[in-house]
């Protein structure tokens, strides 16, 4: 049995054996030793009463922002008597577990794979669950099966103020947090001053079911990771997590962020970028990666390409753009993507910010919620200098590390990329 699962089930807690346990999970909650899902293991032991599901559904079968209101099609799983509840429905109220779905359970188990960024809605789902428990005065014990952060211990960004908070950003969180989901939940539990018991079940790598994945990440040639299951449709690999903190900002523009391709967030482009391929010659650069090019970076290379998304923005249309390739040197994804977007916004007549309501809980446009900081937004709109941007990032990252370091439970330290390593040259 998977070590985290075994550790959980070995706990001498009567609440876990009452037969009235709720599980918040998706398809990543799979035990590679058992060859089964955790919900199957709990059901077999007569422990499972309710199954909560985050965005994308139980098997990550739904695309981003697709609402799941009825969970009837999970009846084929044969889990008789188990109540399936979506925590990502059409209404804002559906994002929080209602009292009637909490008052009849004795324990909650959470087994979700986070990807290390505040935009990723699984953290918001957990946070709203915590808020519901506190609101209703329920002291139900919560158990987090911890998992490695595929984005590692690197920290990027600024702390989100309340005015920009939404379901894609809990107030007070930084863009790239560097914590495991268990550590982050400990911080959120503390910030809420919650009374319900919280137990973090630490992860332990089982060498029989661990694979070395080569990732071009700063400070490490190889990263051990459990046999990977993609947590959502557009996070296909651990590599995606290393660029997500920056590249997700392209969702706030009218450029494709690569959804509808096999490499989302690594690929960016649009039909109107055709003439932009001549940008380098216009300004005398040899390539996108010329050290003098304003979009170059020491830690990444841009490769020009053409692509046709099969869905999402520009589905079926030929797009011109680039793919981002990390090269193993220190890299600050957020800073690099901010510089790329600023340059594209200033040089392209067809460039636009994505309009309309982006996420439930806040009426601001997408780029405001994603950037979540006035200095970053002013930089994108040409109103702040790169020096001001770097100063804001430095301040935010140092403050975050100071704030959350006491919540870390593993030996690896949180770190930030020094300013002088951010830009090529």
Count how many domains the chain has.
2
Kindly state whether residue 364 falls inside one of the protein's structural domains. Answer: yes
Tell me, what's the pLDDT at 18?
80
356 found inside a domain: yes
Give pLDDT tens digits for 290-315.
888 888 999 999 999 999 999 999 99
Domain range for residue 377? 216-398
Share the mean pLDDT of the chain.
Answer: 89
Residue after which a domain boundary falls, among 211, 243, 276: 211
What pLDDT sits at residue 209? Answer: 44
| 408 lies in some domain | no
**Together in a domain, 30 and 177:** yes
Do 180 and 232 belong together in one domain?
Answer: no
Q: For residue 85, is it within any domain?
A: yes
> 277: pLDDT confidence band, cut at 50, 70 and 90?
low
Of 123-132, 139-148, 270-279, 385-394, give the lowest mean pLDDT range.
Answer: 270-279
Contact 185, 146 (CB under 8 A): no
Q: Please check whether residues 95 and 145 belong to one and the same domain.
A: yes
Are 214 and 126 contacting, i.e. CB atoms less than 8 angstroms apart? no
Q: Considering the domain boundaries, does residue 418 fall inside one?
A: no
Predicted pLDDT at 1? 41
Q: What is the pLDDT of residue 418?
A: 85
Residues 152 and 236 in one domain: no
Same domain, 319 and 223: yes
The residue among 147, 177, 211 that closes a domain is 211
d(CA 110, CA 386): 41
Q: Which of 177, 211, 245 is the last residue of a domain?
A: 211
- 315 assigned to some structural domain: yes
How far separated are the first and last CA of the chain, in Å rounded?
Answer: 50
Query: Is the four-CA dihedral 209, 214, 217, 218 of positive or negative sign?
Result: positive
178 with 31, same domain: the answer is: yes
Based on the fold, state whether residues 206 and 222 are members of the same structural domain.
Answer: no
Which is more confident, 58 or 357?
58
Per-residue confidence at 11, pLDDT binned at 50, 70, 90?
confident
170 and 74 share one domain: yes
Check whether residue 205 and residue 307 sit in a common domain.
no
- 412 assigned to some structural domain: no
Residue 19 backbone zone (phi > 0: left; psi -120 to 50: alpha; other: beta):
left
Q: What tens digit of pLDDT does each residue of 329-362 get?
A: 999 999 999 999 999 999 899 999 999 888 877 8
- Same structural domain for residues 198 and 316? no
Residue 222 clears pLDDT 90, i.e. is over it: no
Report the alpha-carbon angle 79-81-85, nearest 5: 80
pLDDT at 380 over 90: yes
Kindly state whether residues 75 and 204 are assigned to the same domain. Answer: yes
Residue 199, beta-bridge partner list? 143
**Residues in the chain, total:** 425
CATH classification of the domain holding 382: 3.90.1150.140
The pLDDT tens digits of the residues spanning 62-81 come to: 888 888 887 677 888 889 99
CATH number of the domain enclosing 198? 3.40.50.12170
State pTM to two decimals.
Answer: 0.93
Q: What is the mean pLDDT of residues 408-415?
A: 95
Residues 271 and 379 in one domain: yes
Examine residue 394 and state whether it is found in any structural domain, yes or no. yes
């Amino acid at each position: 049995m998977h070590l985290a699962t075994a550790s959980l089930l070995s706990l001498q807690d009567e609440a876990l054996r009452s037969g009235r346990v709720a599980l918040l999970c998706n398809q990543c909650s799979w035990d590679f030793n058992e060859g089964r899902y955790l919900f199957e293991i709990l059901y077999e032991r007569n422990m499972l009463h309710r199954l909560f599901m985050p965005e994308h559904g139980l098997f990550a079968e739904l695309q981003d922002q697709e609402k799941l209101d009825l969970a009837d099609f999970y009846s084929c799983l044969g889990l008789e008597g188990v109540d399936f509840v979506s925590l990502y429905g059409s209404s804002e109220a559906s994002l929080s577990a209602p009292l009637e779905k909490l008052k009849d359970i004795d324990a909650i188990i959470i087994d979700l794979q986070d990807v290390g960024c505040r935009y990723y809605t699984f953290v918001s789902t957990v946070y709203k669950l915590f808020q519901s428990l506190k609101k209703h005065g329920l002291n139900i014990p919560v158990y987090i099966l911890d998992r490695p952060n595929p984005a590692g211990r690197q920290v990027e960004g600024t702390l989100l103020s309340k005015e920009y908070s939404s379901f894609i950003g809990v107030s007070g969180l930084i863009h790239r947090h560097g914590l495991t989901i268990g550590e982050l939940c400990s911080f959120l539990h503390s910030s809420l001053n919650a009374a319900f018991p919280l137990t973090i079940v630490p992860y332990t790598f089982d060498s029989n079911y661990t694979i070395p994945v080569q990732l071009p990440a700063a400070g490490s040639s190889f990263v051990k990771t459990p046999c990977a299951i993609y947590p959502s449709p557009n996070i296909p690999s651990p590599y995606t997590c290393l660029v997500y903190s920056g590249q997700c900002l392209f969702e706030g523009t009218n450029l494709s962020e690569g959804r509808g391709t096999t490499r989302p967030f690594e690929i960016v482009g649009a039909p109107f970028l055709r003439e932009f391929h001549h940008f380098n010659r216009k300004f005398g650069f040899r390539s996108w990666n010329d050290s003098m090019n304003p979009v170059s970076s020491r830690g990444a290379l841009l490769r020009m390409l053409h692509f046709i998304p099969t869905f999402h923005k520009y589905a079926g249309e030929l797009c011109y753009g680039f793919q981002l390739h990390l090269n193993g040197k220190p890299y600050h994804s957020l800073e690099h993507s901010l510089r790329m977007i600023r340059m594209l916004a200033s040089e392209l007549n067809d460039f636009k910010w994505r309009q309309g309501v982006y996420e439930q809980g806040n009426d601001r446009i997408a780029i405001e919620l994603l950037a979540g900081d006035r200095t970053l937004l002013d930089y994108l709109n040409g109103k702040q200098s790169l020096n001001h941007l770097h100063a804001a990032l430095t301040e935010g990252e140092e403050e975050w590390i100071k704030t959350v370091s006491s919540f870390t439970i593993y030996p690896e330290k949180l770190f930030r990329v020094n300013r002088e390593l951010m830009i090529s040259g």
